[in-house]
Amino acid sequence: MDLPFGVNFIGIGAAAPPTSLSNHDLTALVETSDEWIRTRTGIENRRIATPDLTLTDLATTAAQAALTQADIDPASLDLVILATSTPDDLFGSASVIQARIGAAHAVAFDLTAACSGFIFGLVTASQYLQTGTYKRALVIGADILSRWVDWQDRRTCILFGDGAGAMIIEAAPTLENALLGFELRSDGRLNHHLTLAYQPKPQALAHTQIGQGTYHPIVMNGQEVYRFAVTQVPEVITKTLHRANLTAADIDWLVLHQANQRILDSVAQRLEIPKEKVISNLANYGNTSAASIPLALAESIEKGKIKPGHVIATAGFGAGLTWGAAIFRWGSDFTI
């Protein structure tokens, strides 16, 4: 469908807690080794939020960095989307961030799609801009999964870390549209492979019962999630390339959800994208869920690897199960 507007991606920012937890630190908690974790996942360190640091704090820092880079007034934002599975408040945390950054005219809401959340948020925001409904949007991906990991479970606790990343997207003339293609998917039949599920505890209340409990820590079937990622991610990127009238050779950078180095390598290999074009920072952060893609983008842009005009293929995948890809051109007429 032809939409009246295009979009440009004009600012990015990221934040991570200062506290690190190394593979060596984990050997004091569970039976594992630095060597096992590094060879199976590529992860060496992860950042962990201490109790005084909130999801809103991390997300606000990332959002402010993105606003500074884009050099725009927060009051000019029309939309704030917070992709997270770990809000400070189950009613939503986006509006608190909206208030803290001074986006007085924006509407703000949370979006939950686990590790695919940033891609789902980017596409959702772009739709509002491309239809002409709004002009400027802020999309944040942020998660503090350390609060929901079972630190006695060596199959999962080695994987995750905390962080936030944010991007500013602006409406542009259709001819300058930088969102070249996208595809989003979900399959709830596979939900049980990766969950952070509510566990009700039945309690008597008047003439009935209620289920007041809490969330059970993350449960994951690692092998099934691995298999899912290495088959579905190349497929969805190939479809997205096709939609964008591009081939893998047109891609300057592959920026996948930073789950596991073996997944990154396998997807790149299947797409015949050379290793030099694959962005990876998971050694230092682990899997930061909805934050991982904007965090990796922000670092690579800051280092000058990704430059304005470069074509980036991104893909998120994770719980739901959900997955999706977006191919876009970074930057507009500003200098980084």
* Position 226 contacts ligand COA (CB under 6 A): yes
Candidate ranges 2-10, 90-98, 202-210, 219-227; the one touching ligand COA (CB under 6 A): 219-227
What DSSP letter does each residue of 52-117 carry, written as one string? T--HHHHHHHHHHHHHHHHT--GGG--EEEEE-SS-SSTT-SHHHHHHHHT-TT-EEEEE--GGGH
How far apart CA 33 and CA 177 sit, in angstroms, is 47
Could you confirm whether 115 is annotated as catalytic? yes
| Binding span for ligand COA by CB under 6 A among 16-24, 33-41, 231-239, 241-249 | 33-41
Whether 66 and 10 have beta carbons less than 8 Å apart is answered as no
Residues 8, 23, 115, 177: which is the catalytic one? 115
| Beta bridge mates, 209 | 204
Q: Min. distance of Cβ 51 from ligand COA in angstroms?
A: 25
Closest contact distance (angstroms) between CB of 10 and ligand COA is 28
If the CB atoms of residues 153 and 252 are measured against ligand COA, the closer one turns out to be 153
- Interface with ligand COA by CB under 6 A: which range of 67-75, 208-216, 218-226, 266-274? 218-226
Closest approach, Cβ 26 to ligand COA, in A, equals 8
How near is the Cβ of 257 to ligand COA at its closest, in Å? 6
Distance between CA atoms of residues 121 and 177, nearest Å: 17
What is the distance in angstroms between the CA of the first residue and the CA of the last residue of the chain? 33
In whole angstroms, what is the distance from residue 323 CA to residue 229 CA? 9
| DSSP alpha helix (H) spans, 71-178 | 94-101, 117-130
Alpha-carbon span 266 to 164, nearest angstrom? 26
Question: If binding is defined by CB under 6 A, does position 158 make contact with ligand COA?
Answer: yes
Would you tell me how many other CB atoms lie within 10 Å of the CB of residue 51?
A: 6
Is residue 287 part of the annotated active site? The answer reads: yes
292 binds ligand COA (CB under 6 A): no
By CB under 6 A, tell whether 124 contacts ligand COA.
no
Binding of ligand COA by 185 (CB under 6 A): no
Closest separation in Å from C-beta 285 to ligand COA: 13
Select from 7, 48, 115, 129 the one that contacts ligand COA (CB under 6 A): 115
User: Quick one: which of 106, 225, 296, 325 contacts ligand COA (CB under 6 A)?
Assistant: 225
Quick one: DSSP state of residue 216? P
Residue 29, interface with ligand COA (CB under 6 A)?
no
Q: What are phi and psi of 222, to 5 degrees?
A: -55, -45
Determine the Cα–Cα distance for residues 126 and 323; give it in Å rounded to an integer. Answer: 17
Q: Are 228 and 186 in contact (CB under 8 A)?
A: no
Q: What whole-number distance in Å separates Cα of residue 13 and Cα of residue 170?
A: 15
Cβ distance to ligand COA smaller for residue 6 or 294: 294
Are the CB atoms for 203 and 326 separated by under 8 Å? no
Residues between 37 and 96 with contacts to ligand COA, criterion CB under 6 A: 37, 40-41
Interface segment toward ligand COA; rule CB under 6 A; list 102-110, 169-177, 196-204, 216-224: 216-224
Only one residue has tokens 């997205």, namely: 240
Residue pair 2/323 in contact by the 8 Å Cβ criterion: no
Residues in contact with ligand COA by CB under 6 A are 32, 36-37, 40-41, 115, 154-155, 158, 220, 222-223, 225-226, 259-260, 287, 318
Residue positions annotated with a catalytic role: 115, 257, 287
